Structure 1
């Protein structure tokens, strides 16, 4: 169906290739060809289907006219999807005895594993900042963006995924650096007013209240953060930790197949 639509509308499409797009296309083709040397064809098929979804999505986004309004609509779509992931995860965290979705590492929302859920929201988080800084949003959208920031940050904190915490911090650092270096070029696209200040203040207040709550009772945020950092230090010093074995296996795979790898999903 995709190929037919592409063929039927080929006269209306204009393609502009860059080094980045060519590199991504080569990577996709290399991943597709890895079925011939994949260590596990079943794993390959599952991962390749995800890659195919990304390829289609990229092409659809490429065909959308990149105006500020269109980008804003796309950003709201992504963040609202993230809101559903976060709300389900928050409910799982505060109601651990309620099982309505199978999960191996709660609170994992719809992903089965909390780390995967947190990582998807880490990718969505900068998109929310694009919304909140935009000069095209009205008062209702401003408060909606503030609420979206709050629920996503709360859920990421509840997952206790240290890599997600670190990634969010790095994202904020780079966004601040970008705004600083490109402030003259982006003045026409960003706007800040009293409504946004109130929205962000309410978001911070909601985040502060919720991260001090657990499924049992009030738990100070500093105590939860200290416990997580302590467990991370202990696991780092434990050479029998399963992660060290995974790292060693990965290194051996790279040594055995340094050029083409062992196929998608392995």
Structure 2
């Protein structure tokens, strides 16, 4: 069942690096193949219109495909791997737009083009491939709230990258609204941080998807922090409990904003 010629991929409107289907052929020979992905948008299975499984891959944590499986009895070409990556048959590497990725070692083969703004490890894919994606081979997605790992979220709160690689934290303000602060203390007061905060406030007002992402990650963060707080003592427990209260304040204020009505 190897498909020749052009193939058109269709992606989720809310998660633009998550494939939902591909179309091959034209006219009466046109066929639609449906993608089934994991939480990151990585394909796990492909089925035909009648539900027949035509491809299943065993994709390891950092993107290596350990096995191709087909119940159709024929080969089905499925080159999509981690979000934004396309398997290159000649090199065995994954094309990731701005650079190539080596799945067997979970690293890019060249340095990050944006330098240290992407982190101190210039070859790293992502800290946790179950919670993070790097679809361009550059940086974590702009305006995407980072999935809350315990240590990170206790120190920074809910945080994300604004344009320019500036990492900001989400905070409740004293007027029942939302504000933003720099997540990296030694960058306080720099012009790029001031500009990023202004952009974040504007984006928060205009984009309901950004607000809803804050709400979703807030719920995850509260559970993570409270679970860990039970095992902490003294100042660490106080810090975790304080952060959980902050997350609830953030959720209340975002929900209030959504109820008032904001731009979509």
Query: What's the TM-score once normalised by structure 2's chain length?
Result: 0.28
Structure with the largest fraction of helix: 1
More contact order relative to length (CA 8 Å, sep ≥ 6): 1
Structure with the largest fraction of strand: 2
